[in-house]
Structure 1
Amino acid sequence: MTRKRPAKPALLAPALALALVAHAAHGADDASWFAKYRDPQDGSFDMSDALLNHKGVLPVPDIITEPAVGYGLGLALLYFKAPKRAQADPAEGASDAAAPDTASDTAPRMAPPNITGLGGFMTGTHSWGVGLLHFHTWDDDRIRYLGAVGKVNLHLNYYGPLGNANAYQLSGVAVVQQVLFRIANSPWYVGPRYTFFDSATRFGPVLPNGIQNFERDVRVGKGGIVVDYDTRDNMFYASRGTYAEFEADFARGGFGSSNAFDMQTLKAYHWIPLSPRWVLGLRMDSGFSQGDIPFFAQPYVSLRGVSDAKYQDRNQLTGEVELRWNVTPRWALLGFGGAGKAYGNLHSFSDAPTAFGFGTGFRYLIARKLGISMGVDVAHGPGQNAFYIQVGSAWR
């Protein structure tokens, strides 16, 4: 639940500062206050009880270095609530399964919490955005709901056949609604998703090569079917299991779309516990489109260290690996690398330039009972560097 981006003490500073302000304002007893942020299992700083039992909010600061929108700042506030079953059984969710150095196949799978998030960002290119998100489960995780609404005003670059940057402005309001239903007692989920984006696009006096049938005001309304497969031990930062999602979308006038086009996406992540301290992650991501799709809605390669939408075309294929070393039950170091191609209109697959990104990072288990880790990734891509503040895995 993040986007882009402080030594280890600096990462924890925002959460600690917020807690200190609340403590001073309410004049709480020192012992009881510190107990809220101390894990009785290992005595480490931990926000599990504060988030689950004290109606706490997890602040996620965002130092944006995403090359697509420039440097800036953002902040997200995440509110967590345990599902009813977990509330009825205080022991549930407190298992050592949340600890990152536990890779046993016998450890129980954690039920995902309900999450409400509110956030915004602003960058030096005058790009900004605000959004509200809610994720909810019912009936012991048999029903999953995801809803989001946001407004953006982005100053971006479109890269044509020659890879030249052409500045443009993209603004609009977006809505996402999704409900998934578990099939029997299996790890399979299926359900509908609806996406709507009422956009306005502005280029300079000259329209760049590679864009056909350009329209300034475009509404993208897509209805689709989503199929998920989820055996992760934790939805935030898995140590084992698989998460895969297939989505087929159809943009038509009946869904509120100005253009008629189809899209199919398939992504799959698999985590292999090599030992109690080492975890190997594998990622595959693909996207395909047909019909009269707006240029900004086309699939693109997404990798740490690569500017978003720089490698964008009718189709895209991406692969990435990540190796994690759980130094302690709280701290983990990781290294990652990947490559991808966008092709189909501007380039054939063989002629398309290859995007690549690689780097390193760390995580701290900030909420053991929820399995939430926070940290920083530093990445290098074609001619650029970037760093990202992450909540859990970078793969979403």
Structure 2
Amino acid sequence: MTACAAGDGLRSSLFDPTDGQLDMSDFLLHHKGVLPVPTIITEPAIGYGFGLALLYFSAPVRPASAHDEKAVDDDSKSDNPTPNGRMTPPNITGVGGLVTGTHSWVAGLLHFHTWDDDHIRYLGGLAKLDLHLNYYGPSGNANAYQLSGIGTIQQVLFRLADSPWYVGPRYTFFDTTTRFDSPVIPDGIRDFGRDLKIGKGGIVVDYDTRDNMFYPRNGTYAEFEADFARGGFGSDRAFDTQTAKGYHWISLSSKWVLGLRADAGFSQGDIPFFLQPYVDLRGVSQAKFQDRNQLTGEIELRYYVTPRWSVLGFGGVGRAYGGVHAFSDAPTAFGFGTGFRYLIARKLGMTMGIDIAHGPGQNAFYIQVGSAWR
């Protein structure tokens, strides 16, 4: 192959023939490309730093019975919708890590895979971390501590017939070591254990009608998870957690999309302080608003400047309560801001962009792949 032909081939894989714009769909799906996702860490909980993830995509094999199924390597296959009109999720393998100025670091890998025309979904991950964090407790004052360990998550979901419902088991294991910088254990922590093994078995129920999994314009994604930490799962502590989240996107017109989010977390039993539910909002320090339970709501409005470029504004509030505070007395966390996205892979429906947010006494920005809601 001549250098000219090679250059033409690379260009054709990086630019979409439909509009001539930069697009990595074919490069990622058919040329064994890897998408680098750099991240500037501005999370106050762990300090400023840098992260990098490498994502490898492949198109799932569609069964021969699928409507007008083409060969697996057909370039048009990856943007074929499933019979219910939704874009088939790609298989994703990722490896990455981050490091910050507080000497916090994380390294991990993950894999997401679908089979049988998206009737089976697998998610697995492995991570090792060493984080320098703050626990706020009843006083609201920051108490520095170190959390290190290694953990894994394994999940398999099965679709119920051809419905948008998925059900399956999830297992989580985390071998941890926790150390406070001060020899005095902060108020609000019961039965502090320096070394803990946390093993949880649970059931997950998903409902998914999104038109694509990265940056939906229409549809709903909801998930309910109930986990049980017991000795039989390898846990040193016995406790229960339940989480429920729901995201709904509405196309108000060809240019405007409204997003609505609700998120709740509840816990019972002898749960370690660092695993308690907390309010998760852009602009809010992770785990600053943390207690036995949490409730969060957020709204996002998106405007498409062009078919590839969109801008958005968002805002949300939340409260953590049930141990340190009653719900009526709990402080309200808030976060709001703006951002933009570029459609970097049309056949995947995947975007990349930046969100800039303001929360209680702080600002932060985030490099986002797709929606911030996961």
Short-chain TM bin: over 0.9
- Deviation, structure 1 residue 29: 2.8
CA deviation vs aligned residue, 1:106-154 (integer Å, no higher than 9, x gap): 9931000000000000000000010000000000000000000000000
Unaligned runs of 5+ in 2: 63-69
Q: For residue 217 of structure 1, what is the aligned residue in structure 2?
A: 195
Alpha-carbon distance in 1 for matches of 2:10, 2:168:
43
The superposition leaves residues 339-376 of structure 1 with CA deviations (integer Å, 9 ceiling, x where unpaired) of 00000000000000000000000000000001110000
After superposition, what is the alpha-carbon deviation per residue over 1:202-223, rounded to whole angstroms, capped at 9, x for unaligned? 0021111111110100111000
The residue aligned with 1:92 is 77
1:66 aligned partner: 43
- Alignment deviations for residues 1-33 of structure 1 (CA, whole Å, 9 cap, x no partner): xxxxxxxxxxxxxxxxxxxxxxxxx99732222
Question: 1:293 aligned to 2:278?
Answer: no
The residue type paired with residue 93 of structure 1 is S
Residue correspondence of structure 1 range 72-221 to structure 2 within 5 A: 72-85=49-62, 87=72, 90-94=75-79, 108-203=85-180, 204-221=182-199
1:236 and 2:214 correspond: yes
**Secondary structure of 2:78 counterpart:** coil
Question: 2:294 is matched with which residue?
Answer: 316
Pick closer, same or farther for the CA change 1:139–1:285 going to 2, 3 Å: same
- Partners of 2:308 and 2:288 in 1: CA distance: 36
Indicate yes or no: 2:236 matched with 1:258: yes
Amino acid at match of 2:262: M
Structure 2 counterpart of 1:271 = 249
Partner of 1:21: none
Aligned to 1:363: 341
One-letter identity of the residue aligned with 1:91: S
What is the deviation of 1:60?
A: 0.1
- C-alpha deviation, 1:63, in angstroms: 0.5
- How far residue 93 of structure 1 moved from its aligned partner, in angstroms, is 3.4
Which letter maps to 1:178? Q
Residue identity over aligned pairs, in percent, reads 73
Q: CA deviation at 1:35?
A: 1.4
SS in 1 for 2:8: helix
- Deviation digits for residues 182-217 of structure 1, max 9, x if unmatched? 001100000000000000000021111111110100
Q: C-alpha separation between the residues in 2 aligned to 1:193 and 1:107?
A: 26
Rounded to whole Å, the distance in 2 between the matches of 1:130 and 1:27 is: 40
1:372-395: CA deviation from partner (whole Å, max 9, x where unpaired): 100000000000000000000000
Q: Following the alignment from structure 1 to structure 2, what is the Cα–Cα distance between the partners of residues 94 and 176?
A: 29
**2:330 is paired with a residue of what secondary structure?**
coil
Counterpart-to-counterpart distance in 1, 2:74 and 2:12:
21
**What is aligned with 2:67?**
none
CA drift of 1:89 comes to 5.2
What amino acid does structure 1 have at the position aligned with 2:206? D
Query: Which residue identity does 1:140 align to in structure 2?
Result: D
Alignment pair present for 1:34 and 2:15: no
Higher RCO by CA contacts (8 Å cutoff, separation 6 or greater):
1
Distance in 1 of aligned mates of 2:74 and 2:49: 42
SS in 2 for 1:394: coil
Provide the C-alpha distance between the structure 2 equivalents of 1:205 and 1:293, rounded to a whole number of angstroms.
Answer: 21
- The whole-number CA distance in structure 2 between the counterparts of 1:69 and 1:253 is 31
Deviates more, 1:26-35 or 1:274-283: 26-35
1:56 to 33, 54, 61: 33
- Name the SS of the counterpart of 2:77 in structure 1: coil
Report the residue type matching 1:174 in the other structure: G
What is the rounded CA distance, in whole Å, between the counterparts of 1:378 and 1:156 in structure 2? 22
Structure 1 pair 55–146 and aligned structure 2 pair: CA distance change class (3 A): same
Please name the residue that 1:45 is paired with.
22
Which of 321, 342, 346 is the matching residue for 2:324? Answer: 346
Q: How far is 1:84 from its partner?
A: 0.8
SS of 2:278 mapped into structure 1: coil
- The 1:45/1:350 distance shift into structure 2, 3 A limit, reads same
TM-score computed with the length of structure 2 as normaliser: 0.95
Q: CA deviation at 1:241?
A: 0.2
**Structure 1 residue 36: Cα displacement:** 1.4
C-alpha separation in 1, matches of 2:38 and 2:306 = 24
Give the C-alpha shift of residue 34 in structure 1: 1.3
Q: 1:28 to 1:201 in 2, by over 3 A?
A: farther
- Relative to structure 1, is the Cα distance of residues 90 and 30 closer, same or farther in structure 2, using a 3 angstrom cutoff? closer
AA of the residue aligned to 2:23: D
Looking at structure 1, the residues matched to 175 and 214 of structure 2 have their Cα atoms a distance apart, in angstroms, of 30
